[in-house]
Structure 1
Amino acid sequence: MEDISQTIVEEFKERMHISHGAEDSNLKRLLSFSVAYLKGKCGKFDIEDGSIMENVKAKELTFERARYAYNDAVEYFEDNFLHDIHSLGLDISFKDMEDIYDA
């Protein structure tokens, strides 16, 4: 399971208009599974670091997948976001290649 900070949970709750804390552990689990899913499809990223565009895109997709999971519709996520998933994977791959050549 991926480690999810309380800050990320709070951002997700704000986006989902959830004002209570009763579901925090479930939301953290959904976010963790979503990060793991996207890392498996796209490569490494850090949703805590908003200074790199790939991380911002990854955070957005993580929130979207967690939203689908929260609403018991995760089976539709990949079909609806396939272009974004592929785009993120390519962005991460290109960034990794740049880092290798710049080293």
Structure 2
Amino acid sequence: MVLKLEHVTKRFGHFTAVDNLSLIIPKNEIFGFLGANGAGKTTTFRMILGLLEPSGGKIGWDEMQLNYSTSHLVGYLPEERGLYPKLKVRDQIVYLARLRGM
């Protein structure tokens, strides 16, 4: 799958968390998203996953617009794993993958 962000912006009131971000991640690429605290990394991932709606721009997978019906194509494990905090990361990933039939 190709992930494409076109002129994506996210505002919270008067604060702009992500400003006009465009990028393409080709199929089979390993991609790292680095930046300082507050740079918009988590906000961007949440928009990619459909957990937050962009204020502007488009996000798509292989030309499909990302929405609730396509969100099952991507998994997300946030840094703050509040659901099972005592479970090892590997065990949590395996457990959640099995819930999804993987």
- Settle same-fold status: TM greater than 0.5: no
Q: TM-score range by the shorter chain?
A: under 0.3
TM-score (norm 1): 0.26
Bigger strand share? 2
TM-score (norm 2): 0.26
